[in-house]
Each structure stands twice: as structure tokens, then as C-alpha cells.
Structure 1
Amino acid sequence: MAEHNKHRVGRRGVLRIAGGVAAAGAVGGLAVSLGGRDSADAAQSGAVAGPGPRPAAAKREFAHPGMLHNPGDLHRAEVRVAAGRDPWLAGWRRLTANRHSASTWKPNPRATIVRGGAGQNYGVLYNDVHAAYQNALRWKIAGTRDNAGAAVAILNAWSAELTAVTGNSDRFLASGIYGYQFANAAELVRDHPGFDLARFQKMMRTVFHPLNEDFLKRHNGAVITNYWANWDLCNVASIMAIGILCDDTALFDRAVTYFRTGPGNGSIKNATPFVYEDEGLAQWQESGRDQGHTVMGMGLIGAICEMAWNQGVDLYGYDGNRLMKGAEYVARYNLGGDVPFTRYSWRNGTRGAHQQQTVISDIGRGQIRPVWELLHNHYARRRRLSVPHISAMAEKVRAEGGGGDYGPNSGGFDQLGFGTLLYSK
């Protein structure tokens, strides 16, 4: 394989906790033997329980690559694909069959991206973002230089051109979704000699981050409960990803804090407002709206948790595995099962008009999105917890594709995907 695949596990193969280091496989503070696991699995970042408090002024030492994929993920995929083993090979075939992963992809940058209202052109952005990400994956896993060149060319073209993301309120969806996705593509090629990392970091700080922060602080001038969980989550994901890309402790910690205790619907307790402990379920905030946005929420909150995990912070297990209960709820209902539903009330608009939902929505029920492998492989494989509905959804979706495999519109590009290839253990 190419030189880039000589992964340096060392610091990157462990998760740092409050000034100490937890060995790969540590769960709940107890070391778990890696015996019986082969070298590809042993190389991945280990499981840890919640890190202790970190002094506010402490500068975090970031692991790279350390967003949705760590060196162990990439090495495992490389080894399994080269050996022709499923399900990794099936996931690889989904990637290489996607037209966005072709090294012949040409970037189509714009100075201004508009999502919502007159002059919409944001499709050129999400297509290029996914092309950069998919080409970067092919390079990392197979060592193909042409794919690396394509990814770098796309990212460099946009950082040289893009100066604004605008539109109606949907501009905040663009800043969040494409912000975290763009940063993930850049993270994979950050050490490539042809990539202008400094210029890309500047673009993320000056174009995407101000919108992310503005939304979380002001919510477009509306009352705090007006916007659904996904709006907060995508902007939290973007701030976290930009923090990692730029080695910015304050941004990363800002995202972690918002996930835990933020005032909007993207914080975990507001995103899962009702917990049914006896059933191991938690009602998702958008469940009375429709299932498409509900499943989208699983993808966004899973991305946040995985990025935090790869930097040594366990959000998956926060508040008694609250996310796990929410994901089990969503999976169970979308598999056709019954779930409890508590009346959900909120206020919307600028004046806070009262709204409520009294039943769960069946709109879009059972739809397929590439979000479940990440959740399944964390809870069922890393943590060895019973998550029957999450696991059943992962089986139903396998092998996961990515952007371009789930329709031509923006909803088909809300997740980066390819979880079967990258997360299977």
C-alpha cells in the first residue's frame, strides 16, 4: 500500500482522558483484553467511558485523523478490503461504484452559496463536498494517488473561491451540514503535500463558523424551541469538526458543552425529552414531525458522538446512554414496532405561539438512510450492549452507500455514509 497507509497508532490509537491515557479497549475504567482480536481491530481507537473534567484553559492535544474516522478505522478497512472480506468489501464496492468517488471529478466552486430563497445554487456545493470525501476515502484505503489528487483539487478550489453562504433561514442548514462534512473531507487529506490546509482552515473559520455560532446564539431571531433538533445538531457538528480541523480547543469544548447542556433542541436532553426507562427507549424530539427528519437526527447526533469519541470524549454514553435509548426508539418504530408517545408541546415563531403534537408521525416511516452502522458498531460492538432494534436497522441498510446513493436531492446528501466499510468490526 502507499506510504500514507503506514498509520502511526501510538497517540492516535488511544484516547486521552483528563491528562492520562486509556488503553484501547478500556470500558468504564476497566481494561478489556484485546486477546482474540486481530491486529486490524486492535489498531483502532479504544472504547472509554466519560473523561474526567478538563481545566477550561487547558489546550487539548488533538488526534489526527480524528473526526468520523481514526487511523484504526482506516487501517481495518484497508486490510479487510485487500483480503476480499465482507462486509467491508461490499461497502468498498458501494464506494467505488458511486460516481462521486471517481478521480475524474472536477470541482465547481462558487464565491457565494445560496440555500433557501432566490438564486439557490447549493447543489454544486454538496456534490463537490461528497466527491472530495469519497475520493479521500479511496486514497486512504487503497492508496490511489489520482483519488488523492481529486480530493485535494476540490478542497483547494473551494477554499480559493468561497466567501459566503447565504439565503433564507435554510442558510443555517447549509452552514451546519456542509460545514461538518467539508471539514471531514479535509481531515482525511490534511497531511497531503498538495493540500492548502491553512487556507481551508481560514475558509471554515470565516465562512462556516460565524453562521454556526450565530444560529446557536440567536436561532434566527425565533424563540429557542422554534427550530427542530436537526438545526442545532448540524451546527454543533460543524463547530466540533472545525475545532478538530483547526486544533481549536475552545471550539471543540463549545460543541461538547452544547451537546450536554445547550438551551436549544440539539442538546441531548431536549433532543430526547421523554425517557421510558422500563423499555430502554427515549422519545426523539422530531418523532411527531416525520420520520425522515427523525432518522436524519440519528445521523447528525451519531456524527457528533463519533467525532468526540475519537478525541477522547464519550458523548455516546452521556446521561446513562440517553442517545442509545433514543436511537432504539427511532429504530424500533421505523422497523414497524410500536413505541410510547408523550404529548410534545413547544412554542414557535418570534412570539412563541403554542404548538403541540399528540401522536407519533408515520410520514416517511421505514425509510433507508446510511446512519445505523455507526450506532450499531459503537453500542453493540465496542460496548457490547444489547441494541436489537439499532442492530436490525443496520442489517436492513447494509451495505451502506453515501451521497448520491439515496436520491439526487439534498436529503440524499445529508449523511456522508459508508458506515459498513468504515465501522464494521
Structure 2
Amino acid sequence: MSRDTDITTHRMSRRSLLRTAGGLAAAGALGGATAALNGNTAGAAPATFTHPGMLHAYGELNRAKVQVAAGKDPWLSGWNRLTANSHSASSWKANPQATIIRGGTGENYGILYNDIHAAYQNALRWKIAGTTAHGDTARDILNAWSAKLTSLAGNADRFLAAGIYGYQFANAAELMRGYSGFDLNRFKTMMLNVFYPMNNDFLLRHNDACITNYWANWDLCNMNSILAIAILCDDGAKYDQAVNYFKNGAGNGSINRAVPFLYDSQGLAQWQESGRDQGHTMMGMGQMGAFCEMAWNQGDDLYGYGNNRFMKAAEYVAKYNLGNTVPFTTYTWGTGQNCAQMSQTVISDNSRGQVRPVWDQLHYHYAGRRGLSVPYITQMAGKGRPEGGGGDYGSASGGFDQLGFGTLMYAR
């Protein structure tokens, strides 16, 4: 089979999957299919953006709604995890701030991530159960912040805030699109004026440091925010910016830098942060997974990009965190402003086996949608099921790095 024929067949399968899920209108499907054939070139944005079309498209939302109403597991178990989380209560009240600080003196960013997760969880409860009280709460949280937030501050960590909370905020807003009383235009303005400039600046200048100084997650969260803002605002140029950075970016979030070494004979690939610690490595699974899922719902298959390069990295991370041995190639990179060289010669066992709600999304994509064998991802997903979300994994910021609830939203 020729390469062109193989790509076309894959794309038709992609469209069929979305149609089966009920997730794309015809225009969006055609736009996504055309975009995917463009490969590394600019112009990847769909001709028509799909809404909802970030972490959750119509198909996933409808399936969760139907299966929870029918009382079927694992959806019901995932739903029970959601409703037990205090952030999902319709009594949650927003505490908006004009300035959010992450890093340095006066940190208050915990206020923001708690409110974002409350907005997201209430939005899910409204989408799945149709309870107006939860819809109203999600709307009110989003409106309160878009009316007040004007800046993000702090040391270099402010770029983490701009990235992580930018893409999460946009995902909550996407679920509430069209809801009575939700000021979507004002929310878009906040995302474009407060979050995007910092996301863009980081990917362009990396806080004036050596291009390889910052770990993959720093790039990835800012890439996620740009992609999410692009979808929220139907902005093709920003969509292209994010996808092109994934494919060709100079920083560690681009696919070939985030996954620097392949072990194809074993179906594995080393992750950029594997020599650092396993907590941040698993955060990377969630960050790149979120990017791939948002692109997937706009018709672009980045999960499979580079001959399933990300899948091999996820299998590597899962295998090691299940207690198995994996190969490791010395990783050398430039640090600081002068690119002073540092190296890691062994994989880190720090935080090995940590549980984060990132695996069900990957399992249900690769094993479910694609029908591929991913034994280590599948085992990791089983260990953490049913997945919770922000508030279920401790009160520190790491417990809010991913929106979670993968069992409820991705089981198939």
C-alpha cells in the first residue's frame, strides 16, 4: 500500500470514528481530514471548528450521559467519583482576583486552580445530568473571573500558571458555550489578553533562557493553552501555531524533543523528564495527552504522529512505573542563559508509581479507538480507576495539574 493511500485510509477511519461518536458536523470533519494531510506544513486548522471540541466532544459527553443514566460501569463509578468531589458542589462560590501570582512573594494561585476545577466539574455535572444548579454555578464562576482577572505575575512559575490554568479555564468555558447568561465574549477577551500573550512569549523566548533549559511540561502547558484558546475563539492562526510547535518547535515540548530516544524493537521511547522524577514525567503524559485529545477532536491525529511516538513514550513511562526495567540513554541538555551542559545518566525512581488521572484517556484512545496493544498503559489505567479530578489527589498544585475524570469521560 502506498504512503498516500495509507494516510487517506487512516483519515477516513478517523472521520468514521468521529461520526460514530456523534462528534463532528460534516464541515468540521472535512476540514479536519484535509488538515491532517498537510503534514508538517502550516494551515492545519480545520475549515470549521467543532464545538464542543477540546477535551470532550459531543460523542464523549453523550455517551457518559447515556451510560450514567443507565447505571452502567465504569461510567457510573466515574460519575460517583465526580459527585463526591467537593469542587463539583453547586454551592461553590467563586473568589476572583485581579492578579494571580505563582512563584515568589504573595502567591495566591491556589484560589484560581480551585475555582477552575469547580467550574469544570460543575460543567460536567450539568452536561451529564442536566442539573441547572450546576450549570449556573459553572457559569457564575467563569463570569466572575472574566470580570476581574487582568494579570498573571510571579517568578518564572507565572508561565506555568498561564499554561496550565489557561488550557483548563478554556476547557471549562467550552463546555458552557451557549449557556444562558454566560458571557463568552468577555471570557474570550480575558483568555486573549491575559493568558495568550504569556503563552506566546514563553514559546518564543523561554524567559530569556537557553532553549532547552525548561522541562517539556513548561512548553506543553503553554502549547495546550494556545490550542485551547484557538478552539474557544475559532482562531485558525493560533491553532496552526500550536500544532506546528508540536511538530517542529525548538523547545522541549515538541514531539521529537519531548521523546528524544526510541527503542522501537521494544515498542518504547524515553520521555524527556524520565531522568528528573516520575511525578513530572506522568504530568507530561497528561499534558501531551490533553494536547493530542484537543487536536483529535478538531480532526488531527497527533496521538499517532511520528509512527505513534507518544504512545511508545507512554508505554515506557507506564512500564517503569509498574515496577519494570526500561532502557535509558544518557540525556544531555543546555541550562541557564549560557546553555551550560548537564546530563542525566540513569532514570529517576523519585515518585515512582505515583497515581495521576492521566491513563484512562490514553488507554481508551490507543486500545479503544485504535485497537492497539498497549499493555503497560492498560495496566496503569486499571490501577487508578475510577479516576478522580482536582481535589482527589491532594491540595497541592500537582493534584490539579490535570482535569481528570478519564474513566467517566473516555470509557468505551
Q: What corresponds to 1:216 in structure 2?
A: 203
Q: 1:13-412, aligned counterparts within 5 Å?
A: 28-29=10-11, 31=13, 42-44=21-23, 51-53=36-38, 56=43, 60-412=47-399
Aligned to 1:285, the other structure's residue is in SS state coil
Indicate if the aligned counterparts of 1:89 and 1:421 stay in contact, CA closer than 8 A.
yes
The alignment's C-alpha RMSD in Å is 2.2
CA distance in 1 between counterparts of 2:206 and 2:329 reads: 26
Superimposed CA distance per residue, residues 341-392 of structure 1 (whole angstroms, 9 cap, x where no aligned partner): 0000011001111100000000000000000011101100000000000011
Q: What stretches of structure 1 of length at least 5 have no aligned partner? A: 1-21
Q: Deviation at 1:27?
A: 6.0
Question: For 1:55 and 1:297, how far apart are their aligned partners in 2?
Answer: 25
Aligned residues: 398
Q: Quick one: distance in 2 between partners of 1:80 and 1:48? A: 29
- Distance in structure 1 (CA, Å) of the matches to 2:78 and 2:346: 37
Contact 1:399 1:420 in 2 (8 A): yes
Other structure's SS at 2:10 match: coil
- Residue 51 of structure 1: CA displacement? 1.5
> CA shift at 1:295, angstroms?
0.1
Q: 1:131-172 deviations in whole A, cap 9, x for unaligned?
A: 000000000000000000000000000000000001000000
CA pair 273-59 structure 1, distance change in 2 beyond 3 A = closer
Which structure shows the higher helix fraction? 2
Structure 2: which 5+ residue stretches go unaligned?
1-6
Contact 2:44–2:243 under 8 Å retained in 1? no
SS at 2:334's partner residue? strand
Runs of 4+ aligned structure 1 residues displaced above 4 Å come to: 29-34, 39-42, 44-50
CA contact (8 A) 1:91 1:400 kept: yes
Structure 2 letter corresponding to 1:52: L
**For 1:41 and 1:332, how far apart are their aligned partners in 2?**
32
* Distance in 1 of aligned mates of 2:405 and 2:33: 24
- Report the alpha carbon displacement of residue 289 of structure 1 after superposing the two structures with TM: 0.2
CA deviation string 1:185-215 (max 9, x = no partner): 0000011021000000000000000000000
Q: Which amino acid aligns with 1:177?
A: I
- AA aligned to 2:111 is V
Q: Would you say the 8 A contact 2:358–2:404 is kept in 1?
A: yes
Is the Cα–Cα contact under 8 Å of residues 27 and 49 in structure 1 kept in the other structure? no
Q: Which has the larger displacement, 226-235 or 51-60? A: 51-60
Amino acid at match of 1:51: A
Once residues 142 and 232 of structure 1 are traced to their aligned partners in structure 2, the CA distance between those partners, rounded to angstroms, is 35
Q: Distance in 2 between matches of 1:30 and 1:243?
A: 25
The CA distance in 1 between the partners of 2:253 and 2:15, in whole Å, is: 36
What CA distance in whole angstroms lies between the structure 1 residues aligned with 2:351 and 2:365?
26
The amino acid that maps onto 1:298 is M
Over 3 Å counting, the alpha-carbon distance change for 1:83 and 1:41 in structure 2 is farther
